[in-house]
Amino acid sequence: MTTLQLPTFDDVKAAAQRIEGHAHKTPVITSRTVNEELGAEVFFKAENMQRMGAFKFRGAFNALSRFSEAQRKAGVVAFSSGNHAQAIALSARLLGIPATIVMPHDAPAAKVAATKGYGGQVIIYDRYKEDREQIGRDLAEKHGYTLIPPYDHPDVICGQGTAAKELFEQVGELDAFFVPLGGGGLLSGSALATRALSPNCKLYGVEPEAGNDGQQSFRSGAIVHIETPKTIADGAQTQHLGNYTFPIIQHKVDDILTVSDAELVDCMRFAAQRMKLVIEPTGCLGFAAARQMKSKFAGKRIGVLVSGGNVDIERFCSLLGSC
Ligand SMILES: *Cc1c(COP(=O)(O)O)cnc(C)c1O
């Protein structure tokens, strides 16, 4: 087995330069009500306000920016439950690259529509029966497309890490930082930035209870594979961490926590009502964990990465139990 060349914080810095002027520098939101509830100073990095509504634009744009002329001509293929799809489709359109996206049959309608709206060609597969990675690889081989996976790729990881880099530049060092975890692109990139810019900060990845493969992997020391978890956090329905993301997470993250779907819904309601923020279920993972841990961080400075805001308004209402 060849050893992987893991990305470093220098690569995150290079990614930040590549996406500058293309990705939004997202705001940091604070709320007196949240600070009172948690007894701490909480900084929300609002990637729900990123282009296409999630941090994934950062990794996608960074990866596509590095394509050679031949790769640009042939095109890109991606498989995704939604936000990576939109991110690749939008980045590809901005860079003039043809994009093909493999999406699950039960992906939220708004995400499918947005991907098509950005000019991506969409191919649907059955999430519970077919292997999307295989479909993606077959298409890449047949048409000469370059496959950009949603998380296990150095350029994707480093692009995602620019959100945390930005947060520390905006608010300074933190005592604890809570980051949603699916396949680990966001968490591993955040870890590179955190260890460079706020070395003493406790860094937590947060998964849905039903899909705690990351927690199992972190605690056992080897990548654990699970069945596609049933959770409302559709951005974290991943089955395993990646060969790049796992070793970074293992060495640079303090722990992996889990939250229930009910806690996510509570946070969605709270964020909408009190903070005027529309956050998708997966985007609430960090906030939900910070609320669970509040007694531990009284009086401290806490970062929460709000990873995305792409949720159909009908689904949003039905999750909250009314409309
Ligand atoms: C993809 C995604 C995640 C998980 O990111 P990974 O890099 O797969 O860990 C979290 N939140 C949202 C909104 C996402 O789209």
Enter the pTM of the model. Answer: 0.95
Q: Is the CB of 184 under 6 A from ligand 1?
A: yes
DSSP state of 234: G
56 included as an active-site residue: yes
Q: Read off the pLDDT of each residue in 195-201 and give the average, rounded to a whole number.
A: 98
- List CB contacts of 181: < 8 A, sequence separation 6 or more: 187, 205, 206, 207, 214, 236, 256, 285
Give exposure, 82-102, as e/b (b: 16+ Cβ within 10 Å): bbbbbbbbbbbebbebbbbbb
**Residue that has been written with the tokens 């901005």 in this structure:** 94
Q: How far is CA 70 from CA 144, 146, 153, 227, 246, in A?
A: 10, 10, 20, 37, 31
Q: Which of 31, 45, 56, 307 is catalytic?
A: 56
The predicted structure's pLDDT at residue 267: 97
pLDDT in tens, 70-120: 999 999 999 886 899 999 999 999 999 999 999 888 887 877 888 899 988
- List CB contacts of 128: < 8 A, sequence separation 6 or more: 228
The predicted structure's pLDDT at residue 322: 64
| Distance between Cα 179 and ligand 1 center (Å) | 9
294 included as an active-site residue: no
β-sheet with 41-46: strand ranges across? 28-29, 41-46, 301-306, 176-180, 202-208, 255-259
Q: Which of 2-11, 68-77, 103-112, 232-241 has the highest mean pLDDT?
A: 68-77
Partner residues linked to 29 by β-bridges: 44
| Distance between Cα 80 and ligand 1 center (Å) | 10
Partner residues linked to 147 by β-bridges: 77
DSSP state of 182: S
